[in-house]
Amino acid sequence: MASYDALRAEFEAFAAEQIAPFADEWDRNGAVPESAIRAMAEAGFLGLSIPEEFGGRGLDQRGVMLLNMAVGEACSSMRSLLTVHLALVSETIARWGTPEQKTRLLPDLASGRKIAAFALSEPLTGSDAKNVHTRYVRDGDRYRLTGRKKWTTFGQRADLFLVVADGEEGVCAFLLDRSKAGKSLLLGPLDGMLGTRASLVAEMEMSGCAVDERDVLGRRGLGFLQIVNTALDNGRFSVAAGCVGIARAALRAAAQHANTREQFGSKLRDFQLIRRRAAAIALDARTAALLCEDAAALRDGGSPKAIMRTAMAKYHASAAANRAADHAVQIHGALGCHESSPVQRYFRDARVMEIIEGSTEMQELLIGEQAIKNPDLIID
Amino acid sequence: MTANDNDQLKSDIRDYFKSNMGKDARFADGDDIFADGLVNSLFALQLVTFLEDSFKITVENDDLDLQNFRSVDAIADFVGRKRNNSAA
C-alpha cells in the first residue's frame, strides 16, 4: 500500500483538479454529472476500502478518512457519494454479506459499474429509525416490498438500494436491484435541498417490489441491530471526515479573503476580531481531524471503542464544520452570502451534516449515556 | 478449554458488560441482558467487536443468533464453540 502521505497527495490532487473547480456549478445545477462519477470510479475511489479480491483497492479506514477529507474539502455533494455508496452499502456488504453476495455484488460496486444508495429514512421516520413503515411480505421464494423512502442520497442515480423494511420476520435489510424492479419502483428527484444540493436526492415509492431470498443482507430480523447499525457507523465516519474537509475549505477561503480584502485602509488580516474568527476555524478544523484520526486508528485496530469514538468524531466534526463555515461567511461579509463565493455552499452543506447519519442530538444521547456509565471508555 | 479458561472468559465478559452498563450494574451469568433492557441497540455491535478483538474469533453472519449473546453464560459457550471449531 502507498504511504498515507502519498495517498493524501493523490486524493487532494484529484479533488483539486477534477472536483473543486466545478463544485459551485454542480451545486447550482442540482446534480453532479455522470462524467464526474465516472472519474471517481476510474480512480478506484468507489471501491477504496473494498478488499482487493473483490476488485477494490483494499485500503484501511485511515485511507477512507483521507479520501473523505480531500473530496469533502472540494464538494460535499460528491463526497456524499462516498458515504452512501462506499460506507453505508459496500462496506456493509463486505462485512456482513454472504460469500455469494460479496462475489456477485462487490466487484460491480467497487468498480463503480453499479452505484448504491441507502434507503432507510421515510416521510414519517427519521431519528426513530427502528420504526420503519415500509413493509415486506413473503411471496414464495421472494419478498415483496411496499412503502415510501425519502431523502435517499444519490437515489436518482443508484442501481442498487439497501432497503430497510419491517415484516413478520422482524426488520430486514434487502438489496433491491433497480433494473429488476420495473414499474413497481418509482423514483422522483427531491429538489430544493438546503445543502448538498447536487447529491441527486430521491424519493422512492415501492409497490410490491420483488426481491430474491438471496438478497436479504444479514440475518432476518436483525436488519436494524446488525445492518443499519453497521451501516450508520460506517457512514458516521465518512461524514465526520468530510466535515473536516468543509472546515479546511472554510479556513482556506477565510485566509485568502483576509489576506486580500482591505477595509479602513488595512487588510482584514490585521484586525484582531478577524484573527479571533480565524483562530476559531483553525481550532475546529484541527480538533475535528484529530478525533477522526483517533476513530480511524481504533477502527483499523478492531477496537470495541471504535463505535463510540466514531460517534464523537461525527458529533464534533459536524458542529465544527458549521462553526467554521459560519465564521468564513462572516469574514467574507456580503460576498459570503452570494453564490459567487463558495463559502455560502460550505455554510449550507455543513448544516446538513448535523442531521444525516444520526443527528447531533442522537449522538449527544449516545455519547452522554456512555460517558456517565463508563468515563474510562471515553477517556482512555 | 479448561475450567480455569472458562472462568477467566466469563470474568472478562462480566467486566465488559459492566463497562457498558455502569460499574454498579447487577446481573447474574444467566440473565438475559437484552430482555432486561440493560443495553442499547449499539451495544450488540460493540459486543461483537469486543469478542473478536479479545478472543481472536471471527463472528460471522450465521453466528448472529441472539441466543449466542443474551447472557454471560451464552457468550462463554459461544466463544468456546468458536475456538473449538477453529482448533479442529
Alpha helices in A112-228 (DSSP H): 178-181
* Spatial contact of A158 and A46, defined as CB atoms under 8 Å apart: no
Question: What does the block give as the cell for A180?
Answer: 429488476
Residue ranges per structural domain of chain B? 3-87
A233: contact with B, CB 8 A cutoff: yes
Higher local confidence (pLDDT), B18 or A147? A147
User: Residue A374 and residue B23: Cβ atoms within 8 Å?
Assistant: yes
Nearest CA in chain A to B19: A374
Cβ-based neighbour number of residue A156 at 10 Å: 18
| Per-residue pLDDT tens digits for A82-133 | 999 999 999 999 999 999 999 999 999 999 999 999 999 999 888 887 889 9
As separate numbers, helices (DSSP H) first and strands (DSSP E) second, chain A gives 14, 10
Helix, strand, coil content of chain B in percent (nearest 5) = 65, 0, 35
Percent of chain A with pLDDT over 90: 93
* Spatial contact of A331 and A257, defined as CB atoms under 8 Å apart: yes
Q: In terms of domains, do A323 and A284 share one?
A: yes
ipTM of the complex as predicted: 0.87
Q: In terms of domains, do A230 and A340 share one?
A: yes
Q: In terms of domains, do A174 and A297 share one?
A: no
Question: Residue A132: which region, alpha, beta or left (left: phi > 0; alpha: psi -120 to 50)?
Answer: beta
**pLDDT band at B27, cuts 50/70/90?**
confident
Q: In terms of domains, do A32 and A105 share one?
A: yes
User: Residue A373 and residue B22: Cβ atoms within 8 Å?
Assistant: yes
Q: In terms of domains, do A140 and A101 share one?
A: no
Q: Which residues of B touch A303 (CB under 8 A)?
A: 49, 53
Last residue of a domain, one of A74, A99, A115: A115
Q: Is residue A25 annotated as part of the catalytic site, yes or no?
A: no
What pLDDT, on the 0 to 100 scale, is given for residue B37?
66
Percent of chain B with pLDDT over 90: 44
Q: In terms of domains, do A145 and A270 share one?
A: no
Mean pLDDT confidence for A257-265:
97
Q: In terms of domains, do A63 and A181 share one?
A: no
Last residue of a domain, one of A159, A191, A217: A217
A96, A214, A224, A225: best mutation site toward chain B, by most B Cβ within 10 Å?
A225
Last residue of a domain, one of A154, A182, A217: A217
Q: In terms of domains, do A258 and A203 share one?
A: no
Q: In terms of domains, do A146 and A249 share one?
A: no
* Spatial contact of A350 and A194, defined as CB atoms under 8 Å apart: no
Domain count of chain A? 3
The class level of CATH for B3-87 reads: mainly alpha
Nearest CA in chain A to B22: A373
Determine which one of A25, A339, A357, A361 is catalytic.
A357
Does residue B1 have a pLDDT over 70?
no
Q: Please, which residues bridge with residue A210 across strands?
A: A144
User: In which domain, by residue range, is A268 found?
Assistant: 223-379
The CA distance from A38 to A167, in Å, is: 37
B19, B50, B65, B66: best mutation site toward chain A, by most A Cβ within 10 Å?
B19
Q: In terms of domains, do A90 and A122 share one?
A: no
Question: What does the block give as the cell for A286?
Answer: 484541527
Q: What is the CATH number of the domain that holds A131?
A: 2.40.110.10
| Per-residue pLDDT tens digits for A316-371 | 999 999 999 999 999 999 999 999 999 999 999 999 999 999 999 999 999 998 88
Q: What is the CATH number of the domain that holds A8?
A: 1.10.540.10
User: Residue A366 and residue B22: Cβ atoms within 8 Å?
Assistant: no
| Per-residue pLDDT tens digits for A35-72 | 999 999 999 999 999 999 999 999 999 999 999 999 99
Q: Which residues of B touch A219 (CB under 8 A)?
A: 61, 64-65
Q: In terms of domains, do A198 and A106 share one?
A: no
Q: In terms of domains, do A161 and A31 share one?
A: no
Q: What is the CATH number of the domain that holds A230?
A: 1.20.140.10
The CA distance from A43 to A39, in Å, is: 6
